[in-house]
A = this chain, B = another copy of it.
């Protein structure tokens, strides 16, 4: 796509009304980027439609003008899937934030794409139900964006990804056509399920304008345990032992360096005195004393086997929340070290060997790099964080991290893993896509994009180049 220095502002305003098209520098920066900060935003304009019809009209206009569109949700992405760097028109869904319909029998909610995750979670709670996909950016991420990145988070082991909660979605394609995909049906075997193709497509197939989300029964009381473990193989055995007896809703892990930093900087107490190389945080639903007794029995077995060095369990909601903070505050705590972050996965069983190999390679190449591990070990997804050594120039650090990426992704490829477990590809991982997807797959993806977006105006240059 060529840059578009002259967006058709008057025509855009005719579609959405006055005061809903922006070209001022602040708006261009605000709407033109996401939570990544590597790519200077440079959209040509920002437009805020208020209805599906307005989105279709904007796309028709953009197609006529050959103007590229970047669909924009809560802009909390971590792979620059929603960043406009090449003079694109940002189409922000913020105004399409109404909950349109709720059906208590189907337990479905029809939402505008701009509904914020927390808004949906709260709406579900108000109905005595539960929307289980949850992550750090719930307060600003939007449903349309969640769908476009197939957002994961901390409860995937129990409740799956966003994909698993989309009963239907409406998409405006690159030709301005509105597709109404699956319409909330539980069972519908009538040809290719295009809904699943749109989920995780990062806006490259069109603009998600509405979704019918499935809700679930609210969970009963949740208990949280934090356990110190001697090594990663022991951690996997602990996962196996608890999973056999309880329905886990989370199984997270973090390393001692991660815990030490959180304790030092967040004013939180250590969970127990024993220092352990790794910690597991697990959460389960207690339907009664039976579950708590089972949890204690497994804990004692694990201690007996030497898989657990020490542990604690929440006795109240506040304690549970504080234990969760030991895991959830890591990311914020390490921000001052401008960490290099990588969101990678393998199958669960290979995680210990995979971590060993990554550590060995990084330590050999850059012995002064400190590695902070944490992540969703129960689903094979680990977050690799490398802290910038004090005194090292930030640009040099980034350059060295670029070298690290290749070493890490070589290992990911050898393990059949994913170079982006839950954050998507966007611009950030585009050059590494071939480590997880074959040339034949990428060529098929290109052709699929053409089927939805023959002019290539929908978020071009994200995931892959045409």
Residues of B within 8 A of A185 (CB): 345-347, 380, 416-418, 421
Q: Which of B103, B189, B288 contacts A200, CB < 8 Å?
A: B189
Give the distance in Å from the alpha carbon of A380 to the alpha carbon of B106 in the complex: 9
Q: Which of A151-177 contact B (CB under 8 A)?
A: 152, 156, 161, 163-164, 173, 177
Contact between chains at A188 and B418 (CB < 8 Å): yes
Give a binary string over A263-306; 1 marks a CB under 8 Å from any B CB, 0 the rest: 00000000000000000000000011010000000000000000
* Stretch of A223-231, A326-334, A431-439 at the chain-chain interface: A431-439
A236 interfacial by beta-carbon distance below 8 Å: yes
Partner of A422, one of B187, B379, B443, B450: B187
Chain B min CB distance to A342 (Å): 13
Say if the beta carbon of A425 comes within 8 Å of chain B.
yes
Question: Are B192 and A420 within 8 A (Cβ)?
Answer: no
| Beta-carbon nearest neighbor of A291 in chain B | B287
Whether A420 pairs with B189 at a CB distance below 8 angstroms is: yes
A463 interface residue (CB < 8 Å to B): yes
CA distance A420 to B452 in the complex (A): 24
Does A358 have its Cβ within 8 Å of any Cβ on chain B? no
Decide yes or no whether A181 CB sits under 8 A from chain B. yes
Contact yes or no, B191 A464, CB < 8 A: yes
**A384 close to B (CB within 8 Å):** no
Interface size on A, residues (CB 8 A): 81
Interface flag for A197 (CB, 8 Å): yes
A177 / chain B contacts, CB cutoff of 8 Å:
440
| Interface flag for A349 (CB, 8 Å) | yes
Q: Is A193 on the interface with B (CB-CB < 8 A)? A: yes
The CA-CA distance from A249 to B186 in the complex, in Å, is: 15
Please determine whether A425 and B191 come into contact, CB atoms closer than 8 angstroms: yes
A429 contacts the other chain (CB 8 A)? yes
Q: Check if A191 sits within 8 Å of B437, measured CB to CB.
A: yes
Closest B residue by C-beta to A195: B196
A191-B437, A191-B464, A448-B448 given; name 10 further pairs at CB < 8 Å: A152-B189, A179-B440, A179-B444, A187-B345, A187-B379, A190-B433, A191-B442, A217-B244, A447-B447, A447-B448
* 7 residue pairs, one from A and one from B, having the closest CB atoms: A196-B196, A447-B451, A105-B349, A188-B418, A186-B379, A187-B421, A183-B416
